[in-house]
Structure 1
Amino acid sequence: MNVGLGEDDAGDYEFLGNGGELGALIRTYDWAPTPLGPVAQWPGCLRTATSLLLQSPVPIVMLWGAEGVMIYNDAYSVFAGRRHPQLLGSNVREGWVEIADFNDNVMKVGLAGKTLAYRDQELTLHRKGFAEQVWMDLDYSPVLDEHGKPAGVIAIVVETTERVLADRRNAAEHERLQKLFEQAPTFMAMLNGPEHRFELVNPEYRKLIGNRDVLGKTVEQALPELTGQGYVELLDRVFQTGEAVSRYSEKIYIQRSGDKPEECYLDFVYQPIKSDDGQVTNIFVQGSDVSERVRAEHHQKLLINELNHRVKNTLASVQSIVVQTLRGKQSNDEASADISGRILALSRAHDVLTNENWDGADLIDVVNASIEAFAGPDRNRFSISGPAIRLGPRAALSLSLALHELSTNTAKYGALSNEAGSVAITWEVREGENGRMFTLVWREQGGPPAPASPRQGFGSKLILRVLPTELGGTASIDYAEAGLVFTLQTSVDALDEGRVGA
C-alpha cells in the first residue's frame, strides 16, 4: 500500500538516503498496518539497519520482529523475481510460503541471538510462477535493539545456482573423463610440474610399469630405470618448449618384475597442457605397448630374409640334384624318377618347416615325412625310437634328403625290396667331452645281402659326404650280412644351427 508524503513527514525518511528503487518504495509504502508501524515510530536500530542494507550491493533482507516483516534492498529484489515488490512489508513465512518451515527455524534461532550459515543450500522457490531448484549461500545474524536484545534477523543471500550447476556439470564431465581414462585401451598418465610428478595413471599404465605405486612421485623417483635412456630429458624439452613429441616403435627398457629391465617397444606422445597464460603446467602421456607387433615385424623380416636364403639354397639343391642324377643314369626314365623323388623329398621337408614358420622342426616329424612314401598304410616295416630333438632348418633339409636316399635304396635293393625285411631308425644323445653328442642309426634287417660297391652314386655321396659336411659330423655305411647299417654322428648344437632368430 502506498501513501503520499507531506513536507512535515520528509524528515522521517532522511535515513533512507539514496536507497535506490527500494528506498523509494519504502518511502511510499504504508507501514502503519504492519507490526513495524509508521516510519516515524521506527526505533533508531531499525532505521540504521535499513540504511545499511539499502547501500549494500549484496542481496540483503531484514526480517523484523517475531513475524519477520521483510525489508530488503535492490539486489535482493532481483533475487526475489516475480515475488517483488509484494514481498516488501510482508511476513517472511507468508511471503515465502513454500519454505515457511525453513524460515520459521531461521526466526527462532536469530531471535534467540544466534547465527546461522548455509553454503550451497538447496531450496525450492516459486520466484517465476513455477517451482525451481535453487542453491544459495545464506548467512543469518540477529539485529539488536537499543537494549541489546535481538529484535530482528538480517540475512545476506547470495545465489549460487549457476556455480553449483556448473560444478555439477564439471564434476559429471570429470567423472565421465575419469571413466574413459580408466577404461582406455591405451596407457595414460598425467605428469605435473617441471619435475614431472605423477598425478594420474590408468590401469594400462600401471600394467606397463609392473603395477608400481607411482602417484605423487617424480618420474626419476618412480621409474629409475629410465635414467640414461633419454626420456626424462625428452619430458624436460616438452615442458620447456611447449611442443608435443611423438615416438613410434620406440625401444625402452622397463622394470616390470625381477631384477632386469625388460625390452619393450612403445608408440607414445608427450602432450603439454598449458594454463590460461600459456605456461606449461602438465604433460599428458598417452601411448600403446606395441612390443608384440614390433617383434612380429622383426621376425617377419627375418623370415623373409631366411626365405630368400632358403629359396636360393633350394634352387641350388635342385640344380645339384638334377646335374648329379643325370650324370650317373643310363636312361631318361630312370633319371626322371630319381629327380622327382629327390625333389619331392625336399618338398616334404619344406612342408614340415613351413608348418613351424621355418623356425626349425622336430626330428620325429622329419623322419615320418621322409619315410611316408615307403612305409605303407600300416607302417609295420619301420620302427622309430629316440628322444625329442629339435632341428634347425638346415639340418632338417639335409636329414630329409639323406633319409629319402636311404628309403629309396632299401626299397630297391635292401630290406624293403622283399616282404620280410624291416628298418629300425634310432637316435640317442649322450654327454661327450665337447658337449652333448647326437647319434642316428639306420639299420636294415631281413633283406637280401647288400655287398659294398666301389662306385658311389649321388645318393651315396649325399649321405656320406654332403650330410656330414652340412652337420659338422661323421657318417658311415656298414654293409653287414644282416643288412645295411648307416650311422651319423654330430653335436646337438650343430643340429640346431641355422634356426631363424637363433
Structure 2
Amino acid sequence: MTELGPIAGWPGHLKSAVNLLLPAKAQIVLFWGPNFVALYNDAYAPTIGDKHPRALGRPAQESWTELWDDLEPLLQRVFNTGETVFAKDRPFYIERHGYPENVFFDISYSPVQSETGEVGGVLCIVSETTERVVAQAELARAQERLTQALSAAGMVGTFDWHVQSDTFYSDARFAEMFSVDPAKGEKGAPLAEYLAGIHPEDVERIAAALDHTVTTRERYAQEYRLVQKDGSTRWVEARGECLYGEDGKPDRFVGVVVDVTSQKNAQERQRLLAREADHRVKNIFANFHSMISLSARSARTPQEMAQALRGRMDALLRAKDLVRPGIMGTEHESQRTTVDALVRTVLQPYEDGSPDRIVLSGPDVSVGAKAVTGLALALHETATNAVKYGALSRPNGSIHVTWGASQDNFHLEWDETGGPVIDVTPQTRGFGSILAERSVTSELGGTIEHDWRRNGLRLTLSVPLNRLAV
C-alpha cells in the first residue's frame, strides 16, 4: 500500500496515466503528487538497477537521494508551471548498482493534468544514452590521439578513394593541405579536386602513377609538391595500395601522406653547402696560385718569396676571420670594424708592391659585426673573379676601390682597368657572382650592379647605413 491509497480511489487522470505507461515499451516513470511518488513500467525498471522494486510506490526522494538536488528542481519546474522539460544526453549522477555512476538520458518531463487543468504529477519518458555518449567520447579521444600521433610523425593524414564512384575521402588536415574544403573531405569529393592542389609540374606524373597502381596492383609511393592557398609550396610523400573486390575490379585505394617539407629543405641546404664548399676550395686554390705567382714575380730570392707568400697567406686567413659571423651572447657580437680595414684585409693577398696595383680611398665608415660577413663575402668574391678573369689576372691590371656615405646610404665603387678586353657582356653568372649579389641584397638589404665596360668591370654597391652598422 502506498500513500496514494487504493487504486479505486485514484483520480481519473492518474488512472489514465498509469494505464498509458504500464503496457508501453518506452521507459516511463510517473512521479505523482507533492511527494512525487514513483510509478513506473517494466521497461523503466532496469534503468534504476537495485532501486527496483523498493522505489515503486515510494516518494522519489527516498530512492533517488544521491541525485535529489538535481532531480527535484526539474520535477518542481514541471509540477508548478505546467511546462514540459526536454533534454538530449542529460547527465545524471546515480547509484544503482552499489557504486556511483555518471549516466546520460534523453528526457521528456510533461505535466499530467486533470480536467480542470490542475497538475497532479509529472510523466517522464526517458531513454538511456550512456553507452552511446561514452562511446562517442572514447571515439573523440581516440581521434585526438590519432591526430596527435599523425602530427608528431609529420603525417598529413589518411585517404580512402572509392575508385568505382570516384569519391575521395580524407580527414580535415589532409583536405586543407590539398586546398579542399574539409567538409568535402569528410563527405567525399572527386579525385580531381585533390589533384588540383598538386603543383602543376607534378600533377600529370601523380595522376599517371595512380592509374598505374590501379592497373598493375603495385604499391604506390610518390613524392610531390602541394601549392598552398597562400602560394607557398609543401613537399609530401604518399604511400598506398589499391584494394580489389571479389570480381577483380578495383574497389578502394587507401594510403597515407607524410609532410616531408623539412627533410626536403634540409637536403637542399646540404646540397647548397656542398656546392659552396666545393666553390670555396676551388677559390682557395685559385688564391694560392695567384699569391705564388705574385710572389715569384716580385721576389729576388727564394727566402724573400717564402716570406712574402707567408704574409699573403696570413692576410687571406685574416680576411676569412672577418667573414666568420659573430657568436650570439659573446663579446664578438658587438665587434665593429671599418670599411677601410675590411677592404684592405680582403685585398691584401693580391698586393704585389706596386702602388698602382690596388688603390683604395674613402672616409672612415663603421661596419657592424653582422654586416661584416655580407660585405666581406661580396668583396672576396669580386676579388676572386678579378684574379680569375679580370684586372688581377694581368701583371699590369689595377683596381680602384672608392666608397662614401650619404645621409641614408653607403656606396662603394669597384673599378678595374688593365685586364683582358671585354668584347661581349657575360650572359651567365658564376656561383661566386650569385653568392656576392645574394650577400648584399639578402643579408644587407642593398643593391649591386655590374657595368661590363670594354676596359674592365665597374661594380657599384649600395647598402642602407642602418644595415651596415648592425
Q: TM-score, normalised by structure 2?
A: 0.53
| AA aligned opposite 1:286 | D
Deviations 1:320-342 (A, max 9, x none): 789x77xx99xxx9224325524
Residue number in structure 1 paired with 2:386 = 395
Pairing of 1:430-445 with structure 2 (within 5 A): 439=415
Alpha-carbon distance in structure 2 between the residues aligned to 1:91 and 1:151: 14
2:206 paired residue among 231, 234, 248: 234
Residue number in structure 1 paired with 2:270 = 297
Residue number in structure 1 paired with 2:312 = 345
Residue number in structure 2 paired with 1:15 = none
**Contact 1:349–1:370 (CA<8 Å) still a contact in 2?**
no
Alpha-carbon distance in structure 2 between the residues aligned to 1:195 and 1:232: 19
Alpha-carbon distance in structure 2 between the residues aligned to 1:402 and 1:286: 50
Residue number in structure 2 paired with 1:133 = 102
Across the aligned residues of Structure 1 and Structure 2, the Cα RMSD in angstroms comes to 6.2
| AA aligned opposite 1:136 | F
The alignment partner of 2:54 has SS state of coil
**Contact 2:157–2:257 (CA<8 Å) still a contact in 1?**
yes
**Contact 2:291–2:349 (CA<8 Å) still a contact in 1?**
no
Alpha-carbon distance in structure 2 between the residues aligned to 1:63 and 1:129: 24
Deviations 1:46-99 (A, max 9, x none): 677656645545432233455544332334222212211111221334433442
Alignment of 1:156 with 2:125, yes or no, is yes
Deviations 1:372-429 (A, max 9, x none): x989xxxxxx9831699831524257899889x99xxxxxxxxxxxxxxxxx985469
Judging changes above 3 Å, is the alpha-carbon distance between structure 1 residues 254 and 213 closer, same or farther for their aligned structure 2 residues?
Answer: closer
Alpha-carbon distance in structure 1 between the residues aligned to 2:116 and 2:254: 58
Pairing of 1:56-135 with structure 2 (within 5 A): 56-64=24-32, 67-97=35-65, 98-99=67-68, 102-103=71-72, 105-106=74-75, 109=78, 114-129=83-98, 131-135=100-104
Alpha-carbon distance in structure 2 between the residues aligned to 1:490 and 1:374: 22
Residue number in structure 1 paired with 2:371 = none
The alignment partner of 2:301 has SS state of helix
1:213 CA displacement: 11
Alpha-carbon distance in structure 2 between the residues aligned to 1:428 and 1:111: 97
Q: TM-score, normalised by structure 1?
A: 0.50
Judging changes above 3 Å, is the alpha-carbon distance between structure 1 residues 151 and 237 closer, same or farther for their aligned structure 2 residues?
Answer: farther
The alignment partner of 1:87 has SS state of coil
| AA aligned opposite 1:83 | K
| AA aligned opposite 1:365 | T
1:306 paired residue among 279, 282, 299: 279
Deviations 1:301-334 (A, max 9, x none): 3234435644665686688789x77xx99xxx92
| AA aligned opposite 1:491 | L
Pairing of 1:261-272 with structure 2 (within 5 A): 266-270=234-238
Alpha-carbon distance in structure 2 between the residues aligned to 1:225 and 1:105: 54
Residue number in structure 2 paired with 1:434 = none
Alpha-carbon distance in structure 1 between the residues aligned to 2:50 and 2:302: 112
2:346 paired residue among 342, 347, 366: 366
Alpha-carbon distance in structure 2 between the residues aligned to 1:354 and 1:291: 31
Judging changes above 3 Å, is the alpha-carbon distance between structure 1 residues 286 and 353 closer, same or farther for their aligned structure 2 residues?
Answer: same
**Contact 1:93–1:99 (CA<8 Å) still a contact in 2?**
yes
Unaligned runs of 5+ in 2: 246-250, 325-341, 364-374, 404-412, 425-453, 460-470
Residue number in structure 2 paired with 1:37 = 6
Residue number in structure 2 paired with 1:384 = 360
Alignment of 1:335 with 2:307, yes or no, is no
Alpha-carbon distance in structure 2 between the residues aligned to 1:438 and 1:104: 90
Judging changes above 3 Å, is the alpha-carbon distance between structure 1 residues 344 and 91 closer, same or farther for their aligned structure 2 residues?
Answer: same
Judging changes above 3 Å, is the alpha-carbon distance between structure 1 residues 216 and 192 closer, same or farther for their aligned structure 2 residues?
Answer: farther
Q: How many percent of aligned residue pairs carry the same amino acid? A: 19
Alpha-carbon distance in structure 2 between the residues aligned to 1:105 and 1:145: 20
| AA aligned opposite 1:87 | A
**Contact 2:199–2:225 (CA<8 Å) still a contact in 1?**
no
| AA aligned opposite 1:393 | T
Deviations 1:207-266 (A, max 9, x none): x99xx997679998899785522248738966996977453xx67777857xxxx7x6x5
Judging changes above 3 Å, is the alpha-carbon distance between structure 1 residues 146 and 367 closer, same or farther for their aligned structure 2 residues?
Answer: closer
Residue number in structure 2 paired with 1:490 = 456
**Contact 1:140–1:155 (CA<8 Å) still a contact in 2?**
yes
Judging changes above 3 Å, is the alpha-carbon distance between structure 1 residues 306 and 130 closer, same or farther for their aligned structure 2 residues?
Answer: closer
| AA aligned opposite 1:293 | A
| AA aligned opposite 2:386 | A
Judging changes above 3 Å, is the alpha-carbon distance between structure 1 residues 95 and 402 closer, same or farther for their aligned structure 2 residues?
Answer: closer
The alignment partner of 1:384 has SS state of strand
| AA aligned opposite 1:366 | V
The alignment partner of 2:201 has SS state of coil
1:138 CA displacement: 1.4
